[in-house]
Chain A
Amino acid sequence: MKIKGITTSKGIAFGTAFVLVKKHVDVSFKPCTDIDTAINELHIAIKKSKDQLKAIVKKTKEEIGEKESKIFNAHSLILDDPEYVKSIENIITKENVCVTYAVEQTRKMFEAMFLGMDNSYMRERAADINDVSNRLIRAVLNIEDSIDVPAGTILICEDLEPSDTAALDPAKIAGIITEKGGETSHSAIIAKSLAIPAISNVKMDSGNVVTGDKLILDAIEGVLIVNPTESELAHYQNIKDHFVKEQSVYKVGMLGRVKTLDGHEVEISANIASADHLKNILEQGADGVGLFRTEFLYMNRTSPPSVEEQYNAYKTALQAFGDKPMVIRTFDIGGDKRIDYLNLEEEMNPFLGYRAIRISLDRKELFKVQIKALLMASPYGNLKIMFPMISSIEELLQTREVIDSVRIEMEKENIPIGDYEIGMMVEIPAVAVQADKFAKYVDFFSIGTNDLLQYTVAVDRMNEKLTHLYSWYHPGLLEMIKMVANAGEKAGIWVGICGEAAADPNLLPFYVGIGIHELSMSPSKIAEIKWRLRHFNKSEMGEVVAHVLSLDTSEQVKRYLTTLEKNLQ
Chain B
Amino acid sequence: MERYEFVLENEHGLHARPAGLMVETCSGYNSEVNINKGAVKVNGKSMLGVLMLAASKGDTLLIEVEGEDETDALAAIKRLIDSQFDE
Contacts and interface: CB of A to CB of B under 8 A. Distances in A.
A binds B: yes
Of listed B15, B43, B56, residue having the most chain A CB within 10 A: B15
Nearest to B45: A82
A128 B16 contact: yes
B12 A84 contact: no
Interface stretch (A113-121, A424-432, A477-485, A560-568): A113-121
Contact of B56 (A80, A114, A119): A119
Given A80-B27, A119-B54, A125 B47 contact: no
B52 interface: yes
Interface string B41-59: 0010111110110101000
Contact of B15 (A118, A121, A129): A121
Contacts of B49: 81, 83
A139 to B, nearest CB: 18
Contacts of B52: 113-114
A83 B41 CA distance: 14
A71 interface: yes
A219 B83 CA distance: 35
Interface residues of A, number: 25
Nearest to A127: B16
A186 B17 CA distance: 11
Please tell me the size bucket of the interface on B. Answer: 20 to 34
B24 interface: yes
Nearest to B52: A113
B47 A122 contact: no
A128 B50 CA distance: 14
A77 B12 contact: no
B19 interface: yes
A74 B16 contact: yes
A74 B48 contact: no
Contacts of B23: 77, 80-81
Contacts of A359: none
B45 A117 contact: no
Interface in A207-265: none
Given A78-B48, A81-B46, A121-B13, A73 B24 contact: yes
A82 B43 contact: yes
A73 B54 contact: no
Interface in A503-558: none
Contacts of A184: 12
Given A74-B20, A113-B52, A121 B47 contact: no
Contact of A74 (B13, B19, B27, B45): B19
B23 to A, nearest CB: 5
Contacts of A129: 48
Given A77-B24, A83-B43, A117-B54, A70 B48 contact: no
Contact of B20 (A77, A110, A118, A122): A77
Contact of A81 (B12, B13, B17, B47): B47
Interface in A47-95: 67, 70-71, 73-74, 77-78, 80-84
B52 to A, nearest CB: 6
Nearest to A73: B20
B48 A83 contact: yes
Nearest to A129: B48
A71 B16 contact: yes
A335 to B, nearest CB: 43
A119 to B, nearest CB: 6
Contacts of B43: 82-83
Given A77-B23, A77-B24, A78-B48, A122 B17 contact: no
A125 B15 contact: yes
B67 to A, nearest CB: 16
A122 B19 contact: no
B47 A74 contact: yes
Contacts of B16: 70-71, 74, 125, 128, 186
Given A74-B17, A77-B24, A114 B51 contact: yes
A113 B42 CA distance: 14
A376 to B, nearest CB: 29
B17 A71 contact: yes
Contacts of A73: 17, 20, 24
B86 to A, nearest CB: 8
18 contacts: A70-B20, A71-B17, A73-B20, A74-B20, A78-B48, A81-B23, A81-B48, A82-B46, A83-B48, A84-B46, A84-B48, A114-B52, A119-B13, A119-B56, A122-B51, A125-B51, A128-B16, A186-B16
Given A74-B19, A81-B46, 4 more contacts: A73-B20, A77-B24, A118-B54, A121-B13
What 3 A-B pairs come out closest when comparing CB atoms?
A74-B20, A77-B47, A74-B16
